[in-house]
Amino acid sequence: MKFKAEIDVMPMEALLDPQGKAVTLAMSTIGLSEIQGVRIGRHIRLFVEADSMENATQKVDQACKQMLANQIMESYEFSIEVA
């Protein structure tokens, strides 16, 4: 079976996010000073071939741990559905 995973990798809350900070400040230049606390990470979409949802979850988790997220600075979460 083919599964589709949607993964969010975000900078950890305890860490500064200079890119997000810059975007927050820039919002006021387009009249959107109501927007605050912007944080920017990555969104990753992928497909995985596996015989069960459990197996697919395990593979995606392994991919996050070993390649997609830097666990020292980033946290990740994902959802999986049948593609």
Q: How far is the CB of 29 from a second copy (least distance, A)?
A: 9
Chain contacts with a second copy (rule: CB under 8 A)? 6, 8-10, 20, 23-24, 26-27, 30, 32, 34-50, 59-60, 62-63, 66-68
Q: How far is the CB of 16 from a second copy (least distance, A)?
A: 15
Query: Which string of b and e fits 64-81 if b means at least 16 CB within 10 Å?
Result: beeebbeeeebebebebe
Q: How far is the CB of 72 from a second copy (least distance, A)?
A: 18
- Of 39, 32, 36, nearest to 14 (Cα)? 39
